[in-house]
């Protein structure tokens, strides 16, 4: 990084990475800090995530201008031109005002100099100290000098200075003198910081001190994060699902929900939101690994499957995979006769006590109630992500983090801080000349001399056809060695460099430095891991192997050429479709960054469901957005208008709007945000057989009438999930539980003597909204659970409305005569057929717009330049819709804030002469990057949308499609060399 950072992001977990990437992509210089010695936060321990059961964190990587970052797994590390990552570093003080803050941090000594460590692991081999492996939930051992995350890149070691005995064995063997045991912590001061993102997470509850679960007493009681490690191939058992006590595969596994959550007695009056889905996922994995006859039982109070696709995930687990769900919070885990087995007592649906025996129990732990925010958290200029106060699933964290990025970007622009234009180093003139390769052979301070005869190697290298210079260096990882290389590159004839040194991941950052100084692009440089190849020196023909590698890379470098970057000018206008809270906040996010916004609303008024919202706080929030948008000079509103056509590619779209009077307008825009919203689902007419039976929405409206007299409303029954969470509308509408609670409490306020009953399937008061559930009970509201197959019945008998159900708590049928029955009918999306076909985006079976990835790219669609947020994507609360709007706005801003977008080195292109226009490539492109240009009669590639994945090249029957930088002959040469 050339310029110092102007933004600090504290915490390099999911939220921190997202926020850092957002801001880096806008062009800000970001410093990403974490107090841990590795980045990735909780995700380093989580291999696969629901509901796709795989990982997709790489989907957070920049989708264009990709050459600015290394494209590898974000769990391993992050490399971006605009991001500096500082690990083992903790912020201790923040001073100053937004726009000009001073931040003090302490960088802990890790005992290993990251500039020198080449990840050779010699130190780890000789370290005599073994301690419990905290990364693997202490189920195994590690050395005192170790890799904080086993698969991290670069794979540089750190020392656990608490465990280290200072015996000095590692110092002796380190070839690069990277270890210094006497190093002390260093204080870092960051000045002129514009703003700070606090994304330090919430920490994970440790159930060790709860005597009821026997954690620490029974080896086979593990936390859910330990279970993730057991499932992982980088875990304590190399991915075998076995239990700790005897290393046998378990046959019966229990999951215990809400360990440390939903427990005000330990200060945890909240739901940790993600644990229910995590447990279902883990149960499915257990079945997958150990066979379908493995018994998996989840003990729960409410299965909080409130995400759009989560109910079907649960149903599938229950029906197709036979995961057992038992609604009972268990008291304790006890030992059973057989060694290692566990006894769990519970009461079943009829109140009968059951003693069940399991081989293993998994405690679903969530947020740590003891974790406090740092003192400086409230300092002006610091914006915290939601994930520092709530545990949440990845999708929500990502949305929240982007929302925070948006607020920070807005804060910076109002403080007059603009991202600095990337100063690209000018290319050296000789780059255009014919290839001339400089090979640098590093002896690693002489340590490689013992295994390889460098002169012999040099002689071999000379045999490779092409112009090659060879330089032998003592060590290229220190400044002196690197300076020598710079000297040769600046003054010599070579325009390509190949290092025979060590780990490429460690070495690559040095190539960037070298490129900046020499004017030779880093794509013209490569590294062969000489040290890695010498590891098994005795077992094979070492010289041959090394030569293979060198020749392969050399051939590739010879073939490299400068591809003139396709630079596309950006149409700096955004199109936002829908003017509810999501659309308005997206529009305002963009307008705040000086982007013109065309806001299209189908109805005659803006505000979406504003008219139907009664919650004062939410009304105020949306009202404010409406006022701001109406007054904003950069926002043009078209009510009574629909988008009927949209063509083009990200950065350059043309849309046609049709107004109510039939007139049409053409809009040139660079990105579009779909926020078409949704609304209340209607109840079938036959359910409303009496005027005492009304929808929840109507009761809410009734109670919010001014001067309402509720004295005669004495008994009210709320019924949840009417139409929701079963086919055909098998998703949780997400807002009804909270709405019922708020309405019921309003009723209690108006008439404290009113008896209120809520029949529910699972109370979906996730996160902090759990507090409303607790408060509602405290007010005397009675909650009665029911199962989908035994819904309470509503009967009308001589003018009386009776609700008949079964109360599993009393183990008795109940019959309640009600003055009102409020039915929670849920949410449905507004029709999206037109917008989906206009913008070529996919829809879900329930008629929502399908996002690119529900976890990692939650507000992107499959088409670059088209974004989605709010109810159009899935059920959300109004505050969540606002958050999504900000996130979608920010994603669009990545494109719109630029004047041009450079294409990537690795984009597909078409050799039109041999293209048969079969269009098979268009069908297979996962990024919608290909289209037929009807005027030219050619297949076109949008090099911005193209991610260089190569599916088109594989599909093309004529070899007409090629991937830049992977031309056939270059790759063939490489393969040839590899084959020796």
Binding footprint of another protein on the chain (CB under 8 A): 211-212, 214, 217, 258, 262-265, 301, 327-332, 334-335, 337, 345-347, 351-353, 714-715, 755, 773-774, 777-780, 782-783, 785, 802, 804, 807, 809-817
CB of residue 365 to another protein, shortest distance in Å: 14
CB of residue 361 to another protein, shortest distance in Å: 14
Helix, strand or coil, per DSSP, at residue 335: strand
Of 266 and 490, nearer to another protein (C-beta) is: 266
CB of residue 348 to another protein, shortest distance in Å: 10
CB of residue 391 to another protein, shortest distance in Å: 17
CB of residue 801 to another protein, shortest distance in Å: 11
Q: How big is the chain by its Cα radius of gyration, in Å?
A: 31
CB of residue 758 to another protein, shortest distance in Å: 12
Of 478 and 768, nearer to another protein (C-beta) is: 768
Of 232 and 720, nearer to another protein (C-beta) is: 720
CB of residue 353 to another protein, shortest distance in Å: 4
CB of residue 328 to another protein, shortest distance in Å: 4
Q: Which distant-in-sequence residues (6+ apart) come within 8 Å of 308 by Cβ?
A: 731, 732, 844, 846, 848, 854, 873, 874, 875
CB of residue 283 to another protein, shortest distance in Å: 20
Of 219 and 249, nearer to another protein (C-beta) is: 219
What does residue 300 show for φ and ψ, rounded to 5 degrees? -140, 170
CB of residue 362 to another protein, shortest distance in Å: 17
Give the tokens for residue 366: 């969530």
Of 376 and 786, nearer to another protein (C-beta) is: 786
Distance of alpha carbon 579 from alpha carbon 571, whole angstroms: 22
CB of residue 798 to another protein, shortest distance in Å: 12
Of 236 and 808, nearer to another protein (C-beta) is: 808
CB of residue 366 to another protein, shortest distance in Å: 13
Of 262 and 894, nearer to another protein (C-beta) is: 262
Distance of alpha carbon 234 from alpha carbon 94, whole angstroms: 38
Of 213 and 558, nearer to another protein (C-beta) is: 213
CB of residue 313 to another protein, shortest distance in Å: 24
Distance of alpha carbon 124 from alpha carbon 120, whole angstroms: 9
CB burial class (10 A; 0-12, 13-18, 19+) of residue 534? buried
Give one DSSP letter per residue of 821-875, joined into a string.
EEE---EEEPP-HHHHHHHT--B-TTSPBPPSBTTTBTTB-SSTTEEE-GGGTS-
Of 165 and 811, nearer to another protein (C-beta) is: 811
CB of residue 354 to another protein, shortest distance in Å: 9
Contact by Cβ (8 Å): 328, 347: yes
CB burial class (10 A; 0-12, 13-18, 19+) of residue 541? exposed
Q: Which residues pair with 930 in a beta bridge?
A: 941
Residues in the chain: 980
Distance of alpha carbon 146 from alpha carbon 142, whole angstroms: 7
Long-range contacts of 140-145 (CB under 8 A, 24+ apart): 140/236, 145/111, 145/112, 145/170, 145/179
Contact by Cβ (8 Å): 293, 323: no
Of 620 and 790, nearer to another protein (C-beta) is: 790
CB of residue 780 to another protein, shortest distance in Å: 5
Of 206 and 345, nearer to another protein (C-beta) is: 345
Of 452 and 803, nearer to another protein (C-beta) is: 803
CB of residue 207 to another protein, shortest distance in Å: 12
How far apart are the two ends of the chain, measured CA to CA in Å?
Answer: 39
Stated as kind and residue range, the H or E segment containing 442 is strand 437-442
Can you list the positions of beta strands (E) in 158-224?
A: 158-159, 186-193, 195-198, 221-223
Of 760 and 931, nearer to another protein (C-beta) is: 760
CB of residue 212 to another protein, shortest distance in Å: 5
What does residue 715 show for φ and ψ, rounded to 5 degrees? -140, 125
Contact by Cβ (8 Å): 93, 107: no
Contact by Cβ (8 Å): 501, 531: yes
Residue 948's region, left for phi above 0, alpha for psi from -120 to 50, else beta, is left
Contact by Cβ (8 Å): 589, 612: no
Q: Which distant-in-sequence residues (6+ apart) come within 8 Å of 368 by Cβ?
A: 202, 203, 204, 205, 206, 260
Distance of alpha carbon 311 from alpha carbon 424, whole angstroms: 49
CB of residue 823 to another protein, shortest distance in Å: 19
Q: Which distant-in-sequence residues (6+ apart) come within 8 Å of 266 by Cβ?
A: 210, 260, 369
What does residue 227 show for φ and ψ, rounded to 5 degrees? -65, -40
Between helix 878-896 and helix 616-631 the angle, nearest 10°, is: 30
Of 397 and 720, nearer to another protein (C-beta) is: 720
Distance of alpha carbon 563 from alpha carbon 946, whole angstroms: 16
Of 351 and 544, nearer to another protein (C-beta) is: 351
Helices (H) and strands (E) in the chain, counts: 22, 48
Give the tokens for residue 791: 């819904």
Distance of alpha carbon 348 from alpha carbon 679, whole angstroms: 38
Of 341 and 593, nearer to another protein (C-beta) is: 341
Of 13 and 785, nearer to another protein (C-beta) is: 785
Helices (H), 465-541: 479-491, 504-518, 530-534
CA 127 to chain CA mean position, Å: 36
Of 166 and 217, nearer to another protein (C-beta) is: 217
Helix, strand or coil, per DSSP, at residue 58: helix
């Amino acid at each position: 990084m050339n310029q110092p950072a102007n933004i600090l992001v504290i915490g390099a977990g999911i939220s921190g990475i997202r926020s850092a990437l957002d801001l880096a992509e806008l062009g800000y210089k970001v410093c990403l800090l974490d107090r841990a010695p590795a980045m990735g936060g909780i995700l380093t321990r989580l291999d696969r995530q629901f509901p796709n059961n795989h990982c997709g964190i790489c989907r957070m990587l920049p989708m264009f201008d990709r050459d600015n970052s290394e494209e590898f797994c974000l769990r391993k590390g992050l490399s971006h031109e605009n991001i500096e990552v500082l690990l083992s570093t903790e912020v201790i003080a923040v001073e100053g005002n937004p726009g000009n803050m001073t931040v003090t941090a302490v960088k802990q000594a890790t005992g290993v100099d990251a500039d020198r460590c080449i990840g050779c692991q010699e130190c780890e081999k000789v370290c005599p100290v073994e301690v419990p492996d905290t990364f693997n939930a202490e189920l195994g051992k590690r050395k005192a000098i170790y890799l904080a995350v086993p698969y991290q890149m670069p794979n540089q070691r750190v020392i656990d200075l608490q465990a280290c005995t200072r015996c000095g064995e590692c110092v002796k063997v380190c070839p690069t003198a990277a270890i210094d045991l006497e190093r002390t912590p260093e204080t870092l001061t960051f000045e002129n910081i514009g703003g700070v993102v606090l994304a330090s997470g919430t920490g994970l509850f440790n159930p060790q001190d709860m005597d009821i679960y026997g954690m620490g007493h029974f080896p086979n009681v593990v936390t859910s994060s330990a279970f993730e490690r057991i499932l992982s191939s980088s875990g304590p058992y190399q991915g075998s699902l076995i239990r700790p006590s005897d290393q046998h595969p378990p046959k019966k596994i229990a999951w215990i929900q809400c360990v440390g959550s939903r427990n005000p007695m330990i200060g945890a009056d909240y739901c940790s939101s993600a644990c229910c889905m995590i447990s279902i996922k883990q149960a499915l994995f257990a079945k997958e690994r150990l066979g379908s006859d493995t018994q998996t039982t989840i003990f729960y109070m409410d299965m909080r499957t409130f995400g759009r696709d989560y109910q079907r995930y649960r149903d599938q687990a229950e029906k197709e995979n036979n995961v057992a769900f038992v609604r009972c919070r268990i008291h304790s885990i006890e030992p059973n006769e057989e060694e290692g087995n566990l006894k769990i007592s519970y009461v079943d649906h009829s109140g009968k006590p059951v003693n069940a025996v399991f081989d293993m129990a998994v405690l679903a732990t969530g947020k740590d109630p003891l974790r406090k925010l740092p003192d400086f958290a409230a300092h002006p200029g610091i914006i915290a992500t939601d994930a520092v106060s709530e545990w949440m699933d990845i999708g929500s964290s990502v949305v929240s983090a982007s929302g925070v990025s948006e607020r920070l970007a807005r804060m910076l622009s109002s403080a007059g801080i603009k991202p600095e234009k990337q100063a690209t180093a000018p290319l050296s003139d000789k780059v255009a000349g014919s290839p001339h390769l400089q090979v640098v052979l590093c002896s690693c301070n002489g340590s490689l001399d013992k295994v390889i005869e460098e002169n012999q190697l040099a002689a071999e290298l000379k045999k490779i056809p092409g112009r090659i210079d060879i330089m032998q260096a003592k060590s290229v990882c220190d400044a002196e060695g690197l300076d020598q290389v710079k000297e040769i590159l600046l003054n010599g004839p070579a325009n390509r460099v190949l290092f025979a040194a060590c780990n490429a991941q460690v070495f690559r950052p040095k190539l960037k430095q070298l490129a900046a100084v020499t004017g030779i692009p880093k794509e013209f440089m490569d590294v062969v891991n000489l040290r890695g190849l010498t590891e098994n020196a005795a077992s094979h023909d070492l010289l041959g192997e090394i030569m293979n590698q060198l020749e392969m890379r050399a051939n590739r470098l010879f073939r490299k050429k400068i591809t003139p970057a396709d630079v596309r000018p950006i149409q700096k206008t955004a199109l936002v479709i829908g003017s509810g809270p999501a659309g308005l906040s997206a529009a305002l996010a963009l307008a705040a960054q000086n982007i013109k916004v065309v806001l299209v609303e189908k109805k005659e008024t803006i505000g979406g469901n504003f008219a139907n919202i009664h919650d004062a706080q939410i009304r105020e929030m949306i009202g404010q957005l409406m006022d701001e948008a109406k007054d904003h000079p950069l926002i043009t509103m078209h009510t009574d208008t629909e988008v009927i056509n949209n063509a083009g590619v990200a950065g350059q779209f043309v849309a046609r709007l049709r107004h109510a009077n039939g007139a049409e307008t053409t809009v040139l825009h660079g990105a579009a945000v779909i926020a078409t919203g949704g609304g209340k689902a209607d109840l079938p007419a036959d359910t409303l057989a009496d005027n005492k039976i009304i929808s929840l929405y109507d009761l809410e409206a009734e109670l919010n009438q001014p001067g309402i007299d509720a004295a005669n409303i004495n008994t009210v029954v709320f019924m949840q999930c009417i139409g929701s969470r079963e086919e055909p509308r098998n998703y949780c509408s997400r807002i009804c539980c909270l709405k019922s609670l708020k309405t019921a409490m309003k009723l209690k306020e108006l008439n404290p003597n009113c008896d209120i009953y809520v029949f529910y399937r699972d109370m979906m008061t996730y996160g902090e909204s759990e507090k409303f559930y607790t408060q509602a009970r405290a007010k005397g509201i009675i909650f009665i659970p029911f199962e989908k197959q035994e819904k309470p019945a509503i009967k009308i008998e001589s003018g009386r409305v009776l609700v008949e159900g079964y109360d599993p708590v009393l183990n008795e049928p109940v019959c309640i005569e009600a003055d009102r029955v409020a039915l929670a009918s849920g949410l449905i999306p507004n029709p999206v057929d037109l917008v989906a076909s206009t913008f070529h985006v996919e829809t879900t079976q329930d008629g929502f717009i399908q996002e690119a990835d529900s976890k990692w790219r939650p507000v992107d669609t499959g088409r670059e330049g088209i974004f989605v947020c709010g109810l159009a994507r899935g059920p959300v609360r109004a505050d969540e819709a606002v958050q999504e709007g900000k996130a979608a706005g920010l994603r669009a801003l990545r494109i719109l804030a630029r004047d041009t977008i450079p294409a990537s080195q690795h984009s597909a292109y078409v050799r039109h002469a041999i293209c048969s226009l079969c269009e098979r490539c268009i069908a297979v492109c996962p990024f919608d990057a290909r289209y037929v240009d009807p005027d030219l009669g050619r297949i076109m590639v949008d090099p911005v949308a193209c991610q260089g994945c190569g599916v088109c090249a594989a599909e093309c029957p004529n070899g007409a499609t090629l991937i830049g930088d992977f031309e056939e002959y270059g790759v063939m040469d490489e393969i040839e060399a590899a084959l020796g």
